[in-house]
Every structure is written in C-alpha cells, then in structure tokens.
Structure 1
Amino acid sequence: MPSLPPNKNKLGLWTSTSLVIGNMIGAGVFLMPSAMASFGSISLLGWVFAAIGAYFLARVFSNLSKLLPQVSGGPYAYTRSGFGDFAGFLVAWCYWIAVSCANAAITISLVSALTAFVPALGSSATASIITGLAAIWLLTWINTRGIIVSGKLQLATTALKILPLLVVAVGGLFFIRFDNFLPFNNSGTSIPTAINATVTLAMFAFVGIESAAIPAADVEDADKTVSKATVIGLGIATLIYLLGSISIMGVIPVQKLAQSATPYADAAEIMFGNSARYWVSAGIAIAAFGSLNGWILIQGQIPRSIAKDNLFPAIFARENKRDVPYVGMVINSVMVSVFMAMNYTKGLVEQFKFLMLLSIFTVFVSYLLTMASYVIIRAKQNIKTGWTGAVVLAILAFAYCLWGIIGAGELTVFYGFLFMAAGIPVYVWIRLVNKNINQ
C-alpha cells in the first residue's frame, strides 16, 4: 500500500500514549509523596483538584489537535496560531525553560531511585552528578538515532514502569493504617491555603499532558491519534497517582514519609519485605529513565519548530540524516546538566520542590496562553457550532492555569518572570537578524 512506507516511520497510538504517560509519571511520582507528606492527608484533595483541572487541559489539547492536525510544536504552535509571533515565541521560551528544569528534576529522581542499589549516591554529590550526567548524555545520544528509536524505548520503559507502580498502589490498599492519615491538615495553615499549596505541587505531576501534540507531524493520523493518546494517558496516570498516594500515605507514618528519598521503595519494603525495595527501586529507576528519554525527545522539537518559523536561531533547526534536531537537543542537554549540577548543594527533596515550582510557573504560562488561543482559533476557522461548551471549557482550563501560576509562590514567580523577561531581548535580536538577512 502506498501509505505504509511513511506511516512506519511515525508514532502510533500506543507509542504516543506512552509518551504522555511516561512524561507525566516520570516527572511527578517519585518524590511527590515525600514532598506532600508535611501537609497531611489533606494533600489527597490536592490530587483530586489537580486531576480535575488536568482533565480540562486534556480536553483543550485534544480539541486543538483536531483543529490543527499535523502541526508540530504543541503549545507554541497553538499560541502562535491564535495570537501571533511574539506570543508564540514567549510560550516557546517559557516551555523551553520548563523542559530544562523538568529534565533536571527527573534526573535527580533517577539518581534518588538508584540510591537503593548504590547508597553512596545519597551522600556523595560528586557521584550523584556523574551518574546524572551519564543518564542525560546517553539518552541524548539515543534520541539522535531517530524518533522511532526514541519511541520504541519510550514504549518499553512505560510498560516496565507501570507494573511495579501498580503493585505498590493497589497492594498498599491492603496494608493501610488509618491513623497514618491523621492529622488531616498538618500544615499549620488554613484548609484553603493547604489545599492551594498541595494542588500547586500536584499540578507538576500532570505536566507533560501535551506531549503527544508536540511531535504531531511525526504522528500517524495525528488528528485522531493525538487526541486519543492525550485522554488515555491522562486516565492511566491519574489512576496511578491517586492510588499510589493513598497507599503510601496509609502505609508510611507521616514523619518518616516526609524524610524519605524513596517513598515507593519504603512502602514496598513494609508490605512485602526487604527484597521488595530493590525491585520497586529498579522499576522506578526504569520509569525515570524512560521519562527522561521522552522529555529529551520533546526538548528538541520545540526549538526546531520556532527556528523553522524564523523566531529562534536557525542552528536549532539543523537536523541530522535521521531528521533529528540534534543541535538543539545537545544545547538543551547542556542546560539540563548545568541545572542539575547547580542544585546538588541542597537535599534531594528540597531541590526537587524548587525545580518543580519553577517548572510549574513557566509551563503554566505556556498553558495559559494556549487555553486562550483555543477560542481564537475556533473563531478564525469560522466554526459555527459548540461555542457555549468551548467557551466554558476554555474558561475552566484558563482558571486552572492561573491557579497554578499564583500558587507557585512569590519567589518562584519572581524567578519565572526573570526567565520570561530574558526572552524579550532574544526575540528582538532574532527579529533584527532575520530582517537584515531578508534585506
């Protein structure tokens, strides 16, 4: 059949779904129970509200993938279509920074999971940095081999990660001690304040919901596949998050959980004995490895898309013989390496929190403008039906994004705005350079 040769070099439904699941779960599941433990069991409400908001985002991304099929770039492409070049560039700039922070946080999670096998990684910053760098650059090399190679690795690691996570999440329900859920609010603040803080942290676990839309031009039947992959991926990840959080909080006392660098492995040890720590840690390490692979794939796609639109230095669009934007990928991996190394002066959980919050701000700025673009794109395409539902959906998703930005905290917003402001002179310089070239 004439259509088979190009399709065999594109991502299918399950590979695209694994990209969504792998990027979401790998970014949030590892240290999240420890990061949220100090709030008490009220943090479970944070998961519920975050999941509801993520569903609104998923619906908008799903609808946008149908309005603009085969358009790569995800939030950047949608915002540029709605608001124009400057807004598109600002979204790409924010998202680019967010991916760098997220990859640094995922690398830290990978190193943390490996402490079960190499205890020195928990006490030696040098050993931790070397291990993290090795993972970053090995996966960068793998991703330069082509999107199909990256996709197959993503599918395999996603399948391997789900089993141990579900074993802990489901098995832990039979070992719950209900007194571990008390006190309900241990934050020392009001219930609304505590819920706001936990929702903000939980939001990070849903970053990546847009992953299937970013390489859309490399996805088979993108108008259908991207939409399905986004919704299916969200559903599976949400199930694992909620069950896992309930089980771990019910199995491990809150004081111990707040200090744990490997909460899933600690819970498995309590449930199944000492040996369980190792197979759960192995599963989590595989999950982190796969998530890092997925985000490294993504980190080359956004700069390539904006470079092809003459809104970023042309070097980021340079591809190898396998059509991989290898230069942009390498530059981003350098940034990730620097972020990871700089933050090893703090404890694992504390640096994970900081990177989470910084990523939350920058990525939710991208989401915010994307949600607003949804209504504008519908208007530009002169769509006559479904306006009430579309507007309500856009408002709910927009409000969720605004909640994430506000909840990031003053210091995080300050640093986030610094990153955004740094993008303005870059944009002006690129426009001037392109103008001179065209003349």
Structure 2
Amino acid sequence: MSNKLDLKALTALVIGSMIGAGVFSLPQNMAAVASPAAVTIGWVITGFGMICLALSFQYLTEQKPQITGGVFGYAQAGFGDLCGFFSAWGYWLSAAVANVSYLVIVFSTLGLFFDTDTAVLFGNGNTLLSVVLSSLLIWLMHFLVLRGVQTAAIINYITTIAKLIPIIVFIVAALIAFRWHTFTLDFTGMHLPGEKSLFDQVRETMLITVWVFIGVEGAVVVSSRAENRKDVGRATILGLLTSLFLYVAVTLLSMGVVSTPELAKYQNPSTAKILEALIGETGVVIIGVGLIISVCGAFLSWTLLATETPYTAAKDGMFPKCFAITNKNGTPTRSLLLTSSVVQFCLIVMYLIGGGYDDLLTIASEMILVPYLLVASYLLKLSFTEVNNTRIRAIASLATIYGCWLLFASGLHHLLLAALLYLPGIAFYMAAKQENHQAAFEGRNRLLLAFILIAGCAAGYLVFSGATLQ
C-alpha cells in the first residue's frame, strides 16, 4: 500500500483535526457572551484572519517546496534551528496533551447515556473505568497507526464523513425551523449582563473562536507524505472553508431557532437540546453519537499529527535521529511510542491528582499558536527579501497581525507559563546537535535560549509562590 496521501485524505485530515467536540457546544458558548450581531461580526473577522493564515501556508508550500518539515520547518528556515525546534516541541507537546481532553470528552459523553443516580460509571470522564477504557483506546490507536499512515488516513477519512452527517442533519433541521424574528429578537445584546458594548461582545466571541481552527495546518504537518505537493495548500484551504461554513451555520442558525437569552442558559452540548426540540429524543442520540465519532476521529487525526512532528523534526536534525526510524509500513515507531506514552502519562496523572488538567491544557494549547505566528512572520520576511509580490506581502502582514492577536487573546500569562513546558525539550535539542556534531547554541540561538530560561524561571517562581499573572 502506498504511504502517500491524496487530496481527499489531506482535506479529511484538516477537517478531522479541526472539528472535534467544540462545534456541538458553540451555540450556547456564543449566546452566553454575545448577540447575533456580534457573533456575525466576530465570525467575519475570524474567518478573514484564518483565510489569510491558510493562504500563508499555501504560498509557502508553493514558494518553498524543498521545506518538508511542516509548520516548524518554516520556523527553522526563517529563524534558525533552535526556533524551529521549540516550534516543533511545542506543537508536539500541545497535540499530545490535547489528546487527553478528547478521551475525557468521549467517556463523559458515554456518561450521559449510561450513568444513573445510583451508579456513576463514567462521570466526567475521570472515573477509574473511564481511565482504563481511555488507556485501551490510546493503545488501540497506537497499533492502528503502526499499520501505516495510509491505513490511519483511510479510517480518518471515514470518521470525518461520519462526523459530518449529524452536523449536516442539525444544520438542515435548524434551517427549516429558522425564524428571522427569533434571530433579530435581541440582535445587539441587550439581554447580556453588564450592558456590554458591541465591541466587547465581538472581542469575547473571538476569544472563543481562537481555539476552533486549531488543526488548520494538518496537511502542512504531513506535507512530506503528500502525493502532490500542491495538494497540501489546496487541502488547507478546502478544509478551512468547509469547517468555517459548518461553524457559522451551526452558530447563527441556532440563534434563529432559540432566542439568544434562552440559548445562553442551555446545558452543553447545546446542539443536542436544540435538535431534541426539533425532532424529538432521536435528536439527542444523533448528537451524542456524532459527538463520540467526532471526538474519536479528532483523536486519530491528532495522533497522526503528533506522531509526524518528532519524525519530520528528526529528519531535519532538530530531534534525535532515533525518532526518524520507521517500520515496514513507514510509521515512525519511536515517535509514535513517545506520543502514546505521554498521553498515557497525562491521563494517569489527571486521575491521581483529581484535577488541574484544564490549566495544563490551556497552557499547552497556547504553544500550538506560536508556530502559526512564525509561519506568517516567515512569509512576511520572504515578501521583503525573495518574493517581491504586493498581494503576498499584504496577506502575510494580515496573517502576522492575526497571529499576534491569537496569542494575545489566548492569554499572555499562559504563554509565560508555557516556558516551563519548553525547558525539558532542551535536552532533546542538545542530543540532536551532538549526534550531528554541531554546536547547540550559537549567535541568536543563545539569546533565544536565555529568554526561554529566564521566562521559565519566572514562571516557576509564580507557580510555586502561588502568585498569578491575571
């Protein structure tokens, strides 16, 4: 079986990694902080920013076809080996930690169907039974990916189609039930506490949308496995536009079915209650099953992306060479083992400490936004040095501004705390440089290392002293 991915497989990977559990809770999340007018404006701004970022990926795959290291390959080419390594390390760690959240969501959703007042089997996804079954799922995915990226990509393609079915059913039902007077009943948000201005509402809407497009780079991460290099950029754009349409449709149509003040009070996943009101109890089952399939598909997508990261970084000399070792199916076995082991470790720690995982997830998730900014900045750099194109320069500028906004909106204090998670990676980088008989820290790399060390020490002091950055 060929280990190369075609346009359909790449697009499914982009959609599969972006659409997980969040889409099923978006209606309530948005209604709780903003009016239909603000949500509409927020989606327009977010969509425009993400399209600029996706176009940046597309232009770079066309202008720099020799760079096969994914988003971190661009960071390495533009800003040096150490910057490229930190980009790869942060991306990999973020993907691995995020996979734990998918496991929690799967089994907390099962709890909706099987838990009773007298017997709590799954709870919030943190019971002993949930942890045991989650562990089985981790290693099931592990052995699935061992069979080859192509096999995993085919299954991901199937789960992506399966997860889109309940979302489309919801959109069609909501479209039929949509009422304009319901949508405009509180169009500017007079129901919101504190009489928020439209600007504040838009800002809070965009704080929610910061996370829903993570995964747009999926095709770029596995670009070395693409049948046709041009398909990488095409898949990125197709995946983004498809996901954007689904997010906007689910959010805005819901506000035309249920008034915004009432929708804000719904329990999540809010799409389940909306669809239940439209087609009966079957609606809850459709959303519940769709949610589980969607999250399992996202778990597979992110297992692929996390596994591919140390592999491609090792080929570019940023990770130790052992992570570039593959089996007969072309699967990087050491990289996969490292990823599965970290997910298992985080799952066990979460169970033992009984909490604190949300903070780790938020901090780790912010690390995945750094490569976005570096990609846009690299294209902006090229637009002044190698590519004299006004259109590309404008898009790169807008994407860079949007990348800065993503980091700011997600919390600069979390970015400082993320420095603690970068520190263990330095040992991997030094080992890789030693293998290649290269100096690990020279020139601007010393400045970057000093910055990470100082930030890490400051973050460590804040953590152990109990201080906050809020």
| TM-score, normalised by the number of residues in structure 2 | 0.81
RMSD: 3.1
Distance 1:195 1:351, change over 3 A: farther
What does 1:282-431 correspond to in 2, within 5 Å? 282-343=289-350, 354=359, 357-377=362-382, 382-383=386-387, 385-386=388-389, 388-424=390-426, 426-428=428-430, 430-431=432-433
Match of 1:67 in 2: 63
Task: Name the CA shift for 1:136/1:48 in 2 (closer, same or farther; >3 Å).
Answer: farther
Structure 2 vs 1, CA of residues 153 and 333 (structure 1 numbering), >3 Å: closer, same or farther? same
Kindly indicate whether residue 81 of structure 2 is the aligned counterpart of residue 76 of structure 1: no
Q: Which has the larger radius of gyration?
A: 2
Q: Which has the higher mean CA deviation after the structures are superposed, 207-216 or 193-202?
A: 193-202
Provide the aligned length of Structure 1 versus Structure 2: 426
Distance apart, 1:210 and its partner CA = 1.0
Superposed CA deviations along residues 201-228 of structure 1, whole A, max 9, x for unmatched, are 2121111111111111211111x21111
8 Å contact kept, 1:136–1:333? yes
Note the C-alpha offset of 1:13. Answer: 0.9
SS in 1 for 2:338: helix
User: How many Å apart are 1:90 and its aligned residue?
Assistant: 1.5
**2:78 aligned with 1:115, yes or no?**
no
1:105 is matched with 101
333-342 or 211-220, larger mean C-alpha shift: 333-342
Change (3 A) 1:362 1:114: same
Gaps of 5+ in 1: none
- Indicate how the Cα distance of structure 1 residues 229 and 396 shifts in structure 2: closer, same or farther if over 3 A, else same: same
Given the superposition, is the C-alpha separation of residues 124 and 242 from structure 1 closer, same or farther in structure 2, using an over 3 Å criterion?
closer
- CA gap 1:330/1:394 in 2 versus in 1, 3 angstroms: same
Task: Structure 2: give runs of 5+ residues left out of the alignment.
Answer: 116-120, 441-470
Q: Report Cα offsets for 1:133-153 as digits up to 9, x if no partner.
A: 333221222111101101111
Question: Moved runs in structure 1, 4+ residues, more than 6 A?
Answer: 344-348
CA distance in 2, matches of 1:170, 1:184: 29
2:341 match: secondary structure? helix
Distance in 1 separating the partners of 2:376 and 2:439: 34
1:241 and 2:247 aligned: yes
Question: Deviation at 1:39?
Answer: 0.9
Q: C-alpha displacement at 1:315, in angstroms?
A: 2.7
Residue of structure 2 in register with 1:231 after alignment: 237
Checking the alignment, whether the CA contact within 8 Å between 2:56 and 2:395 is kept in structure 1 is yes
Deviation readout 1:155-214 (Å, 9 max, x if unpaired): 111111112101112321333544587845736455434433331321211111111111
Shift of 1:12: 0.8
Give the whole-Å Cα distance in 2 for the aligned partners of 1:184 and 1:246. 18
Distance, in Å, in 2 between the alignment partners of 1:437 and 1:355 is: 32
1:128-207 to structure 2, matched below 5 A, reads 128-176=130-178, 177-178=182-183, 179=185, 183=189, 186=192, 188=194, 190-207=197-214
Indicate the percent of aligned positions where both proteins have the same amino acid: 29
1:218 pairs with 2:225? yes
User: In 2 relative to 1, CA 406–290 (structure 1 residues): closer, same or farther, beyond 3 Å?
Assistant: same
Scaled by the length of structure 1, what TM-score is found? 0.86
Give deviations 1:286-332, integer Å, cap 9, x for gaps.
11111111111111111011112232123322211111012211211
CA contact (8 A) 2:272 2:287 kept: yes
Distance in 2, matches of 1:435 and 1:324, equals 27
**Contact persistence 1:73–1:301 (CA under 8 A):** no
